Amino acid sequence: MTAILRIPALRPPAFGSPAFGSPAFQPGAPQPSGHGFRELRSGNLGVRIANTEAEIDAAQALRWRVFFEEMGAEPSDPARALRRDIDAFDAVADHLLVVDHAIGPGPEGVVGTYRLIQQDAAEKVGRFYSDEEYDLAPLVAFPGKLLELGRSCVAAQYRGRAVMQLLWRGIAAYVHHHQIDVMFGCASLPSRNPDDFNAELTYLYHTHLAPPALRPRALPARYVDMCRMDPEDIDTRRTAATLPPLIKGYLRLGGFVGDGAVIDHAFNTTDIAIIVKSDLITDRYYRHYERQLREALD
């Protein structure tokens, strides 16, 4: 779990649900455009938005390999037949790709992906993906543009700092171009037993709870209390160190968590909502990569 970038918005929808294998995404369907930045490079690796159906298909194939073949999720019959992770949101999303040009500049080189769903795109489906776990009313009411991050994964042999940095640089360029104000999604702890994470959940709630104006709450039927022990009994340094790398990365950017965890029985995980104000990521990455990001947006 620590090697996989995952926000679920990063996981497939409930197995057997109508969204799985939905006809909303079909070969030949028009794809989103106007994503607004050119490819950013780091050696042989580049990050950009998918430009063709074949590249989106490559991202879905990578998601299949990671989520189903590697992590052991149980697919629906249509997904198994396609050997692709596909749902209704793919047709309206932008798909961020990391491409290894040593393999090829197109779909054959796709080694990492993130799915980006803007608010107007979610409205075409009728909801955000995370609506199935959290009440997003505070975020939807927040004045500003929202971006849901999801379906993130990296091929096993590429999991490391280089690809993670490229994905974040791509997100920074994307949110700057589209003037996104708040990003959100979910992050996972690798067990569906919340008692395995009493210290982690309590620590996150007491140190990183989002302010009310940005605080999603787990749906009542799925709500798991995050306050699971006396916070005075927590070794905060040790507990923070045990968090999955993706969660630690969001916290370093000043991210918050929502109220309540959610058990994902299909993936054997405990999910938490993550919220990040986008200026925190764009400021950080512009400081480090100002020239490259500026050129990508020109």
Compute the distance between CA of residue 228 and CA of residue 252 in angstroms, rounded to an integer: 24
What is the per-residue pLDDT for 282? Answer: 65
Write down the residue that tokens 């980006």 correspond to.
116
What is the per-residue pLDDT for 35? Answer: 61
Q: At a CB cut-off of 8 Å and minimum separation 6, what does 21 contact? A: 76, 78, 79, 82, 86, 87
Of the chain, the percentage scoring pLDDT greater than 90 comes to 61
Q: How far apart are the first and last CA of the chain?
A: 37
Compute the distance between CA of residue 240 and CA of residue 247 in angstroms, rounded to an integer: 10
What is the per-residue pLDDT for 250? Answer: 86
How many Cβ atoms are within 10 Å of 156's Cβ, its own excluded?
12
Q: Which amino acid is at 147?
A: L
What is the per-residue pLDDT for 272? Answer: 97
- State the pTM of this model: 0.83
Instruction: Tell me what the mean pLDDT of segment 139-161 comes to.
Output: 92
pLDDT at 284 over 90: no
What is the per-residue pLDDT for 14? Answer: 31
What is the per-residue pLDDT for 201? Answer: 98
E-strand ranges in the chain read: 40-42, 45-49, 94-100, 110-118, 134-135, 146-154, 182-189, 217-218, 256-264, 269-277
What is the per-residue pLDDT for 13? Answer: 32
Instruction: Tell me what the mean pLDDT of segment 35-41 comes to.
Output: 83
What is the per-residue pLDDT for 298? Answer: 61
DSSP 186-252: EEEES-S-GGGGHHHHHHHHHHHBPPGGG--EE-GGG-B-S--S-GGG--HHHHHHHS-HHHHHHHH
- Model confidence at 160, pLDDT cuts 50, 70, 90, reads confident
Tokens linked to 298: 């020109």
- Mean predicted lDDT score pLDDT of the chain: 84
- Beta bridge partners, 189, equal 270
Domain range 40-297, its CATH number among 3.40.630.30, 3.40.470.10, 3.40.50.300, 2.40.50.100 = 3.40.630.30
* Domain ranges, ordered by start, for the chain: 40-297
pLDDT at 3 over 50: no
Instruction: Tell me what the mean pLDDT of segment 179-194 comes to.
Output: 92
Instruction: Tell me what the mean pLDDT of segment 42-66 comes to.
Output: 96
Write down the residue that tokens 């794809």 correspond to.
31
Tokens linked to 269: 């995980």
- Model confidence at 25, pLDDT cuts 50, 70, 90, reads very low
Nearest to 183 by CA among 126, 265, 256: 256
DSSP 266: T
Compute the distance between CA of residue 116 and CA of residue 93 in angstroms, rounded to an integer: 6
pLDDT at 286 over 70: no
pLDDT at 11 over 60: no
- Model confidence at 123, pLDDT cuts 50, 70, 90, reads very high
* Model confidence pLDDT, tens digit, residues 244-275: 888 988 898 889 999 999 998 877 789 999 99
Tokens linked to 137: 């009313």
